[in-house]
Amino acid sequence: ASMREERIEKTKTVCTYCGVGCTFDVWTKDRKILKVVPQQHSPANGISTCIKGKFGWDYVNSEERITKPLIRRGDQFEEVEWDEAISYITKRITDIKDEHGPDALGFISSSKATNEESYLMQKLARQVIGTNNIDNCSRYCQAPATKGLFRTVGHGGDSGSINDIAEAEMVITIGSNTAESHPVLASRIKRSQKLFGQKLFVFDLRKHEMAERADRFFQPKSGTDLVWLSAVTKYIIDQGLENRPFIDQWVNDFEAYKESLEKFTLAYAEKITGISQETLIEIAKQVVSVDKVAICWAMGVTQHQLGSDTSTAISNLLLVTGNYMRSGTGAYPLRGHNNVQGCSDFGSMPDFFPGYEKVSDNNARKKYENAWNVELSSEPGKDNHQMIHAIHGGKLRGLYVIGEDTGIVDSNINYVTDAFKKLDFFIVQDLFLTKTCEYADVVLPAVPSLEKEGTFTNTERRIQRLYQALDPLGDSMPDWQILMGIAKELGYDWGYKHPSEIMDESAALAPLFAGVNYDLLTEYNSLQWPVAADGTDTPLLYTDGFPFEDKKAKLFPVGFDLDYGMNEEYDLHVNNGRLLEHFHEGNMTYKSKGISRKTPNAFIEVSSELAKKRGIEEGAKVKLTSVAGYATGIVHITDRVRGKELFIPLNDNGKSAINYLTDNTVDKETNTPAYKEIAVKMEVLKKK
């Protein structure tokens, strides 16, 4: 090789965007990212990637990166050295703790952080500060899916691997724009449909690419999936088409559940969902006509007032039809961010230690008390949503947020940013000066995935290592090192020399990860949890029953009662979602030039029917107003949405940001904001 080639480094990494968890070699020369090369043996993706994974890396070298700690002095931020930042932080935290107690502090961890960093963030909150006020951004998206699965089948994760989906005879997607949000996973489904005649049924409000490709596409009214799911399940039971042997062997509470379905007649479901009775019967017949059904769902299900109950209804249908415990069957909640699964798995939750052991469980708590040499609280802490309320109520005084633009991504951002203004002390740790940083007292420069080591867990519970390809830019530091610095100054010298030691500690404490260690995770090797002490992992989650005492799953009754405030004045419904090219609020993808150029503008999709009725033209500027606030945007007329449905891409971080419109309405089980259920009125500001 020539000298030039010799300087090229090839480093295995994990994609930093979505929960599919594609892995690849990234080729770098000094700080230049030359290309991304997926490998045949990349477990989740093989040789595939999407536009974000392949080209979305410019942000790493963006000139807007923060490279030094910043402390607010009046209206300005001043660059300081790490020592000064850390002693300032620890002093302010200690003052708040001394005056108001540990529960006056809150911690929000990030799905961009590694598993090891999530572990340390909850360790900082619990061991060092003494509070369970620790949560992460899965509260904004996937907590309801986890809840629905906990209630019925016991584990909050995908039932099998992405590759197993190929074995399904039928795939049903609900509230998931799979082709744009989980591109590589969608390509697997497309391939199976084409090659093996796998049936694809898509349920969504919006006619997106997967809807166009589907064998059948259904558009139930917003927020009503629970009703068609329950009606279809009831019909199956009424006709005696349930999977009797499976239920007898593996499922509890059938009779009580059956009774709870009384209300969900076909006539009722037709009225509520808009799907005709004949169609509902046909769906039921199709579902039982095949041997293997897998159901994928995402935020179109979870970000609703009934997000947890709808996720439960999905699992109920799978149980009644015997669609668990075999490859090609089961529940696939599609995790949004690269490490949204792992961040919850490793304990950044107000009610769980790592591996989902409850803080109220005396044995689990004792174990951590012994390991960490402190007393821990058995009371669950506040979740993200409760933290914001507590700030308004004067109970929460200090907040530490890692890698999350909470001031844009939380619902009802006017309310959230008003809360930030009331904080005594606010630390934000990120790559860029985000909107949230505008309210911070201290901003700490973190590093992107390419500049650190650790592990991420993708949607199929697969723990994968990322290796460091670049040095941290300027004085920026990996989250785990920053957290160690703060803990040390507060009297807890953790002394980890490498993230592998953090993983060893979590594995020793959390049975779910008992056999996980870095030696088993070298290069493209990976482990799907639960991992037994001998290192055996679990690609197929349920093989020998379910993780309950008698190994039987539970059918869990759910009801339907929904009102999201549509009336004569607020007469339109806004939905929102991802675009293929961008990610989240766009903090990373907007900084990739090629991507920004391709889809530059924020727009509001309006149906041709509505546009015609109101005389609105393509390109008009409109203002949407909800009970919480208003947003403006440019009209794009399309048949992707129907009637009074509007759609806004959620990747905007400017004036049309969806969260000026969302309010404090939440899923009642998990406090996940009902982002998808906003009633608005629309006025035209400028014709074109």
Q: Counting contacts by CB under 6 A, is residue 21 touching ligand SF4? A: yes
Minimum Å gap between C-beta 302 and ligand SF4 is 18
Instruction: Between 180 and 677, name the residue whose CB sits nearer to ligand SF4.
Output: 180
| Residue ranges in 181-210 that form contacts with ligand SF4 under rule CB under 6 A | 183-184
Instruction: Between 17 and 250, name the residue whose CB sits nearer to ligand SF4.
Output: 17
Instruction: Between 457 and 632, name the residue whose CB sits nearer to ligand SF4.
Output: 457
| 322 Cβ contact list (under 8 Å, min separation 6) | 243, 245, 246, 247, 329
Q: Are 12 and 23 in contact (CB under 8 A)?
A: yes
DSSP calls for 263-331: T--HHHHHHHH---HHHHHHHHHHHHHSS-EEEEE-HHHHSSTTHHHHHHHHHHHHHHTT-SSSTT-EE
Judged by CB under 6 A, which stretch of 16-24, 423-431, 462-470, 585-593 contacts ligand SF4? 16-24
Q: Binding residue for ligand SF4 (CB under 6 A) from 12, 13, 15, 70?
A: 15
Minimum Å gap between C-beta 248 and ligand SF4 is 40
606: exposed, middle or buried (Cβ count in 10 Å: 0-12, 13-18, 19+): buried
Q: Counting contacts by CB under 6 A, is residue 172 touching ligand SF4? A: no
Q: Counting contacts by CB under 6 A, is residue 448 touching ligand SF4? A: no
Minimum Å gap between C-beta 53 and ligand SF4 is 2
Tokens of 450: 């390419």
Instruction: Between 50 and 113, name the residue whose CB sits nearer to ligand SF4.
Output: 50
Q: Counting contacts by CB under 6 A, is residue 514 touching ligand SF4? A: no
Minimum Å gap between C-beta 368 and ligand SF4 is 32
The 10 Å CB-count burial string (b at 16+, else e) for 446-473 is bbbbbbbbbbbbbbbbbbbbbbbbbebb
Minimal CB distance to ligand SF4: which residue?
A: 53
Minimum Å gap between C-beta 19 and ligand SF4 is 7
Instruction: Between 341 and 500, name the residue whose CB sits nearer to ligand SF4.
Output: 341
d(CA 632, CA 653): 12
Instruction: Between 128 and 588, name the residue whose CB sits nearer to ligand SF4.
Output: 588
Q: CA geometry: angle at 181 spanning 176 and 183, to 5°?
A: 110
d(CA 248, CA 254): 9
Other C-beta atoms closer than 10 Å to the C-beta of 327 total 19
Other C-beta atoms closer than 10 Å to the C-beta of 237 total 18
Minimum Å gap between C-beta 112 and ligand SF4 is 13
Instruction: Between 50 and 287, name the residue whose CB sits nearer to ligand SF4.
Output: 50
Minimum Å gap between C-beta 196 and ligand SF4 is 22
650: exposed, middle or buried (Cβ count in 10 Å: 0-12, 13-18, 19+): buried
Q: Are 634 and 648 in contact (CB under 8 A)?
A: no
| Residue ranges in 36-75 that form contacts with ligand SF4 under rule CB under 6 A | 45, 49-50, 52-53
Q: Binding residue for ligand SF4 (CB under 6 A) from 12, 13, 20, 650?
A: 20
Instruction: Between 180 and 669, name the residue whose CB sits nearer to ligand SF4.
Output: 180
Other C-beta atoms closer than 10 Å to the C-beta of 563 total 11
Please give the residue ranges that form the binding site for ligand SF4 (CB under 6 A): 15, 17-18, 20-22, 45, 49-50, 52-53, 183-184
